[in-house]
């Protein structure tokens, strides 16, 4: 009989976004879907969050990417084409393609916070967003 090896279950979530920000990014404003201030929290899939870990960020949704910036981006006009550009500061990017989004019912039941949604990405990262303050 060979001994049975027990494997510890590793989380499949990505690293917290604050640990690996993208460098400054320039995007075309014509592809902008929506932007504004939100509160964000990234959790290990299936875990409950704590209120103190909410962070405010400027969210920019362009195509199938959600950029979470610590500050509002600046805009400019391209000299040659006259197209409006958005200059994002170093920030995190969440790929929302084929993600699952739903109301975070259990979060609403345990706190006074309203309008909390959950986004689960293909990489099994779970993000909570509070939208009512802005």
Burial class (CB in 10 A: 0-12, 13-18, 19+), 91: buried
Walking along the chain (134 residues) 10 residues at a time, the average pLDDT comes out as: 44 45 86 92 72 84 93 91 92 91 85 85 89 65
pLDDT of residue 15: 42
In CATH terms, the fold of domain 22-130 is PH-domain like (2.30.29)
The pLDDT, as a whole number, for residue 18 is 45
pLDDT on residue 66:
94
Residue 8's pLDDT is what?
36
**pLDDT the model gives residue 77:** 92
Contacts of 127 (CB under 8 A, 6+ apart): 40, 41, 42, 43, 94, 118, 119, 120, 121
Amino acid 84: pLDDT: 94
pLDDT value at residue 24? 86
Cα radius of gyration rounded to whole Å, the chain: 18
- Listed by start position, the domains of the chain span 22-130
């Amino acid at each position: 009989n060979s001994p049975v090896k027990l494997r510890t279950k590793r989380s499949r979530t990505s690293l917290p976004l604050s640990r690996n920000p993208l460098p400054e990014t320039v995007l075309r404003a014509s592809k902008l879907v929506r932007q504004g201030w939100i509160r964000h929290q990234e959790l290990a899939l299936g875990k409950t969050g704590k209120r103190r870990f909410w962070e405010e960020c400027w969210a920019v949704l362009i195509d199938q990417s959600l950029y979470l910036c610590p500050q509002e981006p600046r805009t400019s006009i391209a000299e040659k084409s006259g197209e409006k550009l958005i200059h994002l500061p170093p920030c995190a990017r969440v790929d929302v393609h084929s993600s699952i989004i739903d109301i975070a019912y259990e979060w609403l039941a345990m706190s006074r916070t309203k309008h909390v949604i959950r986004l689960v990405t293909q990489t099994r990262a779970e993000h909570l967003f509070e939208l009512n303050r802005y």
